[in-house]
Amino acid sequence: MTSDPMTSNRGHPVDRSLLDRALAGARLSAYPPGQYIGQESFMRADEIRELAWHAGIRPGADVLDLCCGVAGPGRLIARESGCRYLGVDADPGAIEIARGRSDGLDCRFEMARVPPVPAGEHDVVLLLETMLAFADKAPLVAEIASVLGPSGRFACTAEEGAPLTEAERAAMPAADTVWPVRWRELAALLDENGLRVRWRREVTREHAETVDALIAAFESHRTAIAEVVGEPVIDELLVSHRIWSRWLRGGRIHKVALVARRS
């Protein structure tokens, strides 16, 4: 999830299954009815569906989901589209949860750090709410382009904005996973790798609304969350979300969803 200390608290490990259990009730209450599908991000279910549609994910499509986490979006896409889905994540706890929730779906999961991207050829590569975590995006985009088929599509979300200042990095928990990118730089990087943006939509307002709803939900469930993962984790979760709220509402960061197609 964008900026959450998902597996660390200023360097102290947090069990993924505990965190998932601790936040489930708050997350469910934060999203409008039908919009929470197990995601760890600011995206709503309908945003995920829209991105999948524009990416051409249809029955039988081969889909690679990078940094899938517990694969809430991936499982939704697989269930509703009938695609063949492979989710990849470096966190063994996330992969274990994803596998346990994928019964009856054409889903496979592998544990791997990205980049590199697993070898093969895919119709669609997904990278949802995770581009932010890569300081150097050039190797990532090059690897993604290398596994796309002749008419392959890269569908992702991105955080547009200037690099963080030293003061911003000091204030943001898990700042080593927060690397915004200027749009012109991202567009040029895609172009250099033979990918042309075919669809783009700004989702800043929607994500700001989701962040604020999550803040309220985490505050409401604070005691129950702290009992499972401890006070420092919920404190940092609230700090990071409040920063994101300011950034999104103040124009410091713009959120976009996009689909780029091999030209």
- Give yes or no for residue 62 having a pLDDT over 60: yes
Q: Please tell me whether residue 195 adopts helix, strand or coil conformation.
A: strand
Q: Can you tell me the distance from the alpha carbon of 64 to that of 148, in angstroms, rounded to the nearest whole number?
A: 10
Q: Can you tell me the distance from the alpha carbon of 117 to that of 91, in angstroms, rounded to the nearest whole number?
A: 15
Rounded to the nearest angstrom, the gap between the alpha carbon of residue 39 and the centroid of all alpha carbons in its chain is: 8
What pLDDT score was predicted for residue 132? 98
State how beta strands 12-13 and 8-9 pair.
antiparallel
The total number of structural domains in the chain stands at 1
Note down the domain range covering 35.
8-262
Secondary element (H or E) of residue 214: helix 204-220
In a domain, 3, yes or no: no
In a domain, 2, yes or no: no
Angular region, 56: left φ>0, alpha ψ -120 to 50, beta rest: left
In a domain, 225, yes or no: yes
The residues, any chain, with a CB within 8 Å of residue 62's CB and separated by 6 or more, are 83, 84, 86, 121, 122, 123, 124, 149
Give me the CATH number covering residue 88.
3.40.50.150
In a domain, 173, yes or no: yes
- Give yes or no for residue 11 having a pLDDT over 70: no
In a domain, 237, yes or no: yes
pLDDT in tens, 235-246: 999 999 999 999
What pLDDT score was predicted for residue 13? 60
pLDDT in tens, 174-198: 999 999 999 999 999 999 999 999 9
Q: Please tell me whether residue 204 adopts helix, strand or coil conformation.
A: helix
Q: Can you tell me the distance from the alpha carbon of 102 to that of 43, in angstroms, rounded to the nearest whole number?
A: 20
Percent of the chain, pLDDT > 70?
95
- Give yes or no for residue 2 having a pLDDT over 50: no
